[in-house]
Amino acid sequence: MSLLPAVVALGDDALVLGQRLSEWCGKAPLLEEEMAMANTALDFLGRARLYYGYANTLGGRDEDGYTFHRDAREYTNLLLFELPGADFAAATARQFLVDAFDELHSAELANSADATLADIGAKVHKEATYHRCHSAAWMVRLGDGTDESRRRMQQALEDVWGYRQELFVNAPAEQPLVEQGILPDRAELRAAWQEAVATTLAEATLTVPAASWAVKGGRQGIHTEHLGVMLAELQHLSRSHPGAKW
């Protein structure tokens, strides 16, 4: 099984969340947090470039080919990463779930049998450790803040909770790579993730939502409707001038 689609998928996760985070530029609740969100966005976009760059050396397209010249059905990011997160509670809840996962996933990826992925994993691990620290602090602040902030955070968690399941599924194409020690086994990360999330939520006086629903489809290109709209904005300029250099 080829490594290429698995690398592109990791790039897609990073790209769409980097785009979502960059949408907060000029909109954060305080100027200091504005700076923090932009730094996080730059880390995610940087990650996307590393994965796409690696994909390119494996015979894939270049980074702009992946970013600007695929339709939503060809994107293979997990749904959690593409959700709008348009208010600060939703953005924070999603970010915390992602960061808690990335911290665990990147630690394993740093041990990959593939040297390039191991390097990327080590780099991502440093970023993700800081991001998780930052987003967990926000969960606690908002969960254990005012009645309104607790209500908003609990609602945001409920709304995003069903999207967590995909994080722990190895796509069929990824399974052989897991067995070769190239990709982390996502299923094995679940327990540690649940514990880390539960610890922070307890501190935040928030309730772990009931695990009754799950949405999936990202790795198969079956997305939410939000992705197409995001891509329309992201891609229109590049696509309006075929072949142009910028």
Partner 1 sequence: MAAASDEFQARIDREERIEPQDWMPEGYRRTLVRQISQHAHSEVIGMQPEGGWISRAPSLERKVILLAKVQDEGGHGLYLYGAAETLGVSRDELIDAMHTGKAKYSSIFNYPALTWADVGAIGWLVDSAAIVNQVPLQRCSYGPYARAMMRICKEESFHQRQGYDIMLALARGSAAQREMAQDALNRWWWPTLMMFGPSDADSIHSSQSFAWKIKRYGNDELRQKFIDQAVPQAEVLGLKIPDDDLQWDAATGHYRIGAIDWDEFQQVVSGNGPCSRQRLAHHRQVQEDGAWVREAVAVHAAKHRAGSDGPKAAARNSDTAQEGRADAAV
Partner 2 sequence: MPLFEVFVRSRRGLDHQHVGSLRADDAEMALQYAREIYTRRREGISIWVVRSADITASQEEDAPAFFEPAADKPYRDATYYELPKEVKNL
CB of 214 to partner 2, least distance (A): 33
Q: Which stretch binds partner 2 (CB under 8 A): 28-36, 59-67, 85-93, 209-217?
A: 28-36
By the rule CB under 8 A, 146 interacts with partner 2: no
Q: Which stretch binds partner 2 (CB under 8 A): 112-120, 130-138, 191-199, 232-240?
A: 130-138
CB neighbour burial string for 143-169, b if at least 16 within 10 angstroms, e if fewer = beeeeeebebbbebbeebbbbbbbbbb
Q: With CB under 8 A as the rule, give the number of residues binding partner 2.
A: 10
Q: CA 11, CA 50: separation in Å to the nearest integer?
A: 8
Q: CA 42, CA 125: separation in Å to the nearest integer?
A: 15
Q: Give CA angle at 52 (9, 68), nearest 5°.
A: 85
By the rule CB under 8 A, 28 interacts with partner 1: yes
Contact indicator for 219, 6 with CB cutoff of 8 Å: no
Out of 26, 30, 212, 244, which residue is the one contacting partner 2 (CB under 8 A)? Answer: 30
- Residue 129's binding partner among partner 2, partner 1, none (Cβ under 5 to 8 angstroms by kind) is none
Q: Interface mask (CB under 8 A) for partner 1, residues 195-224, using x and -? A: ------------------------------
Task: Give helix 4-22 / helix 225-240 axis angle, nearest 10°.
Answer: 90
Decide: residue 71, CB within 10 A, 0-12 exposed, 13-18 middle, 19+ buried: exposed
Instruction: Give the H or E element holding residue 27.
Output: none
- Residue 134's binding partner among partner 2, partner 1, none (Cβ under 5 to 8 angstroms by kind) is partner 2
- Which residues fall within 8 angstroms of residue 180, CB to CB, at 6 or more apart? 113
Out of 108, 119, 144, 158, which residue is the one contacting partner 1 (CB under 8 A)? Answer: 144
Nearest alpha carbon to residue 161 among 116, 101, 94: 94
Site residues (CB under 8 A) for partner 1?
Answer: 15, 19, 22-23, 25-32, 34-35, 38-39, 41-42, 45-46, 48-49, 52, 63-64, 67-68, 87-88, 140-142, 144-146, 148-149, 152, 233-234, 236-238, 241, 243-246
Site residues (CB under 8 A) for partner 2?
Answer: 30, 32-33, 35-36, 39, 133-134, 137, 141
